[in-house]
Structure 1
Amino acid sequence: MPERRHAGHRPSRPSLRRRLLTFLLVPVLGVLLLDAVLGYFVALAYSNRVHDSDLSDSALTLSEMIGNDALRGELTAQARFLLEYDPDGRNYYTVFSDRHGRLIGNAELPGAEGGVPTDGPPRLYDTALGRKPLRAAVMRVSSRHEPGDVLTITVAESLRDRHTRAREILFLTLPMQALLIAAVLCLVWFGVSHGLRVLDPLTARLSRREHDLGPIGEEDVPIEILPLTRTIDDLFARMRNMLGLQERFIADAAHQLRTPLAGIQLHVESLDNAADATQRSEALGHVHRLAARAARTSAQLLALTRTQAPDLPDHDGMAVIDLSTVVPEAVSMRVHQALALSVDLGYEGLDGACLVRGDALQIQEIIDNLVDNAFHYAGRGCTVTVSVSRDVDEFVLAVEDDGPGVADAFLTLLGERFFRVPGGDEDGTGLGLAIVESIAERHAAQVAFLHAAAGGLRVEVRFPAMTGKPTETTH
């Protein structure tokens, strides 16, 4: 059975505020933990420093006691209490004579590695008594009661009190640090919430739009979201282009189909009122021609709109094609129509490859429209020549005929949509050369309308020649 979902359940949407707070608060909490660890070690270092000072003082104190009283193997009760008192355990001490060995002490403490200078300051070192770690201070002093003898005095203490003092310092400072971190978290929360309000003017401005696809602009856009607004502006531009193409297509279709559709309606009415078979046949012939004209107009309008679509690849994104292969193939597909019209259709090309960047289907569309234009305006029995030549760094695709040609006054108007040379056949749509120019523009090519040597029209499409060795070729 399919899984049922609760009606009120919605997947959580991504939140910019939540994301910012997560990226800020989690590191802040990590810093708090790191600060606590570092604070403990700082407190421990301070505690060690204080206890090391006290330990050195204890060694000096014991040295003074020994200097004032001759040792007979024992210390006074007061001196022993001061040396051995430790609320967490015991303090340890020992006194050795170079001549007599151990004099007094309450433990066998390991000696310090390396030498200890005589009558110098106490030297601190780490040691252990069994498994119990200790911190010790050792010093060597000359005996005041027996010249020539040197006494080694060692005082040690356990480390537990040091760690206890460090924890006490940490617990004293941690609440204050926690309050500071809490204040920082509140400031971060407030800062993120307040900082996001900078988007409110932009949101309000966009909400007031209805059908406006103009650029958003950058006057009140934060720098951080400029890439987003610029991307939206590019999207709006593509949408305006597509809507413009759609509106133009609708307007062109309404304009160009109005006449044939009105003619079809008129001749259908004539067909209904026809008195004999001859009138019906004439009416049907007119309907057939007008329907064919409407179909051709619709097809060319769609072709023109496709060539202007923004999602087609530009010149740099096209494949490498060989005009010496594509053009003859396209011309050969029109031979049967040329024979039917008694047109002498020929091709003249170059030896070797003629490589350009382009789309083979669109190149064929150019050739079809130029050949159709020549067939239509040059008339039956004409000569049409398609050629490919090279002019410096360009390959020239040319179609010329020996028809009546076009007057100089109208050459500059060729290529405009729906323009037809006055006095010509009205069956033309005036879109063929416009399609050629639109496709040529996508191929970074130039279109020129010239007089042919035989007196007709010559149309040239100049493609930039490929430089370097191509990586792929499309035939």
Structure 2
Amino acid sequence: MNQRLLWGVGRQSLRRRLLTTLLVPLMVLLLLNSLITYVGALIYANHVHDENLIDDTLILVQMMATESPDGRVAPQAQFLLEYEPEGHNYFSVFSARRGLVAGNPALRPPGGLFADGDEPQLYDIQIEQHALRAASIQMTNPRDPGDQLEVTVGETLRDRHQEARQILLLSIPAQTLLIFAAFLLVWMGVRTGLRQLDPLTAQIANREHDLAPIGDANVPVEILPLTRTIDGLFARLRSMLALHERFIADAAHQLRTPLAGLSVHAERAQASSDPETIADALNHIQRLIHRANRTSSQLLALTRAQTAEHETGDTEQLDLAMLIPELVGQRVHEALAAGIDLGYDGPAGPLWIEGDRHRLQEMLDNLIDNGLRYAGRGKLMTVMLTREGTDICMAVEDNGPGVPPAWFERLGERFFRVPGSEEEGSGLGLAIVQRIAEWHGAKVRYFAASGKGGLRVEIAFPSAKPASA
């Protein structure tokens, strides 16, 4: 098997990412712990060596008081004081009257060191490019009570650092073993934790056409955002599938009659040799084809409008006072052909909303189509814009036969047509208007046209601030 396929090179691994994320902090923790151990060991070594340094100073003082009648240090004692296996230690004895009595002349305590008492004082000093730690004490010369002696013992810092390093080297294996054990436990925990996803994976994998929600039962808290996102996706898929099924059912329902009529009139034309009968059949076929085309177009428009309810879409700021007159002007020639006087009435100032130009055009086209189809020749139809508080109201009004108020609540339902209407239609125009209005957050209202008869359809849009603001 290809090694790349075997190891999944190029594919992200959650387990590897988790372990890497944990391993790096563990290594940093090991380094930090080693640093802390070394600093702690150095502090401890300094403390022990400082105590030993004080003891050596006190021993030298005692020796000066009991075993050195002339104030000098015996060669054997001097050797012991200065001996260090890999270096050199220092001591000095200074007399206030005679100066250096014994030891290294460079080892002198700083001035003011003995201001706080007669206890041995510790300090750092540099001699011959060596850093030293020294302890000094003042004593009365036992051979000359009027004389003061300064007794100092100093040592290099090498032993202190060496002992701290030894402690560190002794602790590193134990710390490494501890970190390795912690990493092994983390690896086992990650492995066990990821296995909690196996039942969920199997549950989803066993589904074929089931889009029911996964739900929150038996789902770890950390996975809930993922499962809820999947449930949201399932909900959108169910909605889309329902729309598709509804479209297929609607298309079958609405196209069945025109297709059956086409078949009947085609058979009439084939079976007859009378030119008038053939011409009448062809006229019926042409009318049925036009009806089928319009029905299919409106079914597609309704499906798009229903799909848009589940989408945010891209909106822009639109000035209805400029857009609506332009769209109305595009339909004037059709209104003239239908014998209807189509006009516009609106303010001169801008009326801003957040919307989609193409959906608004489809909404207005369906409202105008509805008026052209049902108002009748010789009638008036007016598209109006007004401001109502914080809303922008667009209204389409005609003085045709109108709709009885009892049916207002059902206007906007799919395939609903007012009983008694003689005009052909699919009952989808106002349903499309309703869906597009809902997508814009607008409200659709139906009224009887005041003083004229006919129907008035109002769409109230929430207003928006102009882009320049």
User: After superposition, what is the alpha-carbon deviation per residue over 1:254-274, rounded to whole angstroms, capped at 9, x for unaligned?
Assistant: 111111112222222223223
Counterpart of 1:253 in structure 2 is 251
> Alpha-carbon deviation of 1:428?
0.9
Counterpart of 1:147 in structure 2 is 145
Identity between Structure 1 and Structure 2 (%): 50
The 5 Å alignment of 1:50-199 reads 50-72=48-70, 74-105=72-103, 107-117=104-114, 120-199=118-197
| C-alpha distance in 2 between matches for 1:7 and 1:175 | 38
Tell me if the contact between 1:70 and 1:145 (Cα under 8 Å) persists in the aligned partners: no
The 5 Å alignment of 1:402-413 reads 402-413=399-410
Q: Which runs of 5+ in 1 are unaligned?
A: none
Tell me if the contact between 1:348 and 1:386 (Cα under 8 Å) persists in the aligned partners: yes
| C-alpha distance in 2 between matches for 1:169 and 1:260 | 97
| CA distance 1:217–1:138, shift in 2 (3 Å) | same
User: After superposition, what is the alpha-carbon deviation per residue over 1:64-88, rounded to whole angstroms, capped at 9, x for unaligned?
Assistant: 1110134447533542343233222
| CA distance 1:276–1:47, shift in 2 (3 Å) | same
| C-alpha distance in 2 between matches for 1:414 and 1:311 | 19
Counterpart of 2:273 (choices 260, 275, 290) is 275
Tell me if the contact between 1:40 and 1:167 (Cα under 8 Å) persists in the aligned partners: yes
> Alpha-carbon deviation of 1:434?
0.9
Counterpart of 2:242 (choices 241, 244, 257) is 244
Letter of the structure 1 residue corresponding to residue 362 of structure 2: E
> Alpha-carbon deviation of 1:354?
3.0
Letter of the structure 2 residue corresponding to residue 342 of structure 1: G
Counterpart of 2:418 in structure 1 is 421
Letter of the structure 2 residue corresponding to residue 266 of structure 1: V
Counterpart of 1:337 in structure 2 is 334
The 5 Å alignment of 1:300-449 reads 300-310=298-308, 314=312, 318-425=315-422, 427-449=424-446
Is the counterpart of residue 470 in structure 1 residue 466 in structure 2?
yes
The total of aligned residue pairs comes to 466
| C-alpha distance in 1 between matches for 2:364 and 2:309 | 23
Letter of the structure 2 residue corresponding to residue 325 of structure 1: M
| CA distance 1:272–1:412, shift in 2 (3 Å) | same
Counterpart of 1:32 (choices 20, 30, 33) is 30
User: After superposition, what is the alpha-carbon deviation per residue over 1:336-376, rounded to whole angstroms, capped at 9, x for unaligned?
Assistant: 12222222223332343333333333233222212221221
> Alpha-carbon deviation of 1:314?
4.9
User: After superposition, what is the alpha-carbon deviation per residue over 1:141-184, rounded to whole angstroms, capped at 9, x for unaligned?
Assistant: 10111120111111122222222222222222222222222221
> Alpha-carbon deviation of 1:7?
8.3
Counterpart of 2:230 in structure 1 is 232
| C-alpha distance in 2 between matches for 1:391 and 1:161 | 92
Tell me if the contact between 1:140 and 1:150 (Cα under 8 Å) persists in the aligned partners: yes
Tell me if the contact between 1:241 and 1:310 (Cα under 8 Å) persists in the aligned partners: no
Greater Cα offset, 147-156 or 262-271: 262-271
Tell me if the contact between 2:92 and 2:108 (Cα under 8 Å) persists in the aligned partners: no
| C-alpha distance in 1 between matches for 2:63 and 2:7 | 83
Letter of the structure 2 residue corresponding to residue 112 of structure 1: P
| C-alpha distance in 2 between matches for 1:140 and 1:293 | 122
| CA distance 1:133–1:410, shift in 2 (3 Å) | closer
| C-alpha distance in 2 between matches for 1:6 and 1:278 | 78
| C-alpha distance in 2 between matches for 1:294 and 1:142 | 127
| C-alpha distance in 2 between matches for 1:191 and 1:30 | 21
> Alpha-carbon deviation of 1:409?
3.8
Greater Cα offset, 68-77 or 341-350: 68-77
**Residue 410 of structure 2 aligns to a residue in which SS?**
coil
Tell me if the contact between 2:137 and 2:150 (Cα under 8 Å) persists in the aligned partners: yes
| C-alpha distance in 1 between matches for 2:331 and 2:438 | 25
| C-alpha distance in 1 between matches for 2:89 and 2:252 | 108
> Alpha-carbon deviation of 1:122?
1.6
| C-alpha distance in 2 between matches for 1:102 and 1:112 | 13
Counterpart of 1:292 (choices 275, 285, 290) is 290
User: After superposition, what is the alpha-carbon deviation per residue over 1:115-162, rounded to whole angstroms, capped at 9, x for unaligned?
Assistant: 243981221222233122222211111011112011111112222222
User: After superposition, what is the alpha-carbon deviation per residue over 1:395-450, rounded to whole angstroms, capped at 9, x for unaligned?
Assistant: 33222333222234433322211122233235311111111111122222222232
User: After superposition, what is the alpha-carbon deviation per residue over 1:211-235, rounded to whole angstroms, capped at 9, x for unaligned?
Assistant: 2223322223333333333322222
| C-alpha distance in 2 between matches for 1:332 and 1:407 | 30
Tell me if the contact between 1:398 and 1:458 (Cα under 8 Å) persists in the aligned partners: no
**Residue 89 of structure 1 aligns to a residue in which SS?**
coil
| C-alpha distance in 2 between matches for 1:213 and 1:415 | 30
TM-score, L = length of structure 2: 0.91
Q: Which runs of 5+ in 2 are unaligned?
A: none
The 5 Å alignment of 1:453-468 reads 453=450, 456-466=453-463
| C-alpha distance in 2 between matches for 1:471 and 1:96 | 91
| C-alpha distance in 1 between matches for 2:76 and 2:387 | 117
**Residue 308 of structure 1 aligns to a residue in which SS?**
helix
| C-alpha distance in 2 between matches for 1:355 and 1:177 | 70
| CA distance 1:110–1:219, shift in 2 (3 Å) | same
Tell me if the contact between 2:379 and 2:398 (Cα under 8 Å) persists in the aligned partners: yes
Tell me if the contact between 1:136 and 1:155 (Cα under 8 Å) persists in the aligned partners: yes
Greater Cα offset, 177-186 or 5-14: 5-14
| C-alpha distance in 2 between matches for 1:232 and 1:216 | 8
> Alpha-carbon deviation of 1:472?
5.6
| C-alpha distance in 1 between matches for 2:451 and 2:278 | 43
Letter of the structure 2 residue corresponding to residue 441 of structure 1: E
Tell me if the contact between 2:443 and 2:459 (Cα under 8 Å) persists in the aligned partners: yes
Tell me if the contact between 2:265 and 2:284 (Cα under 8 Å) persists in the aligned partners: yes
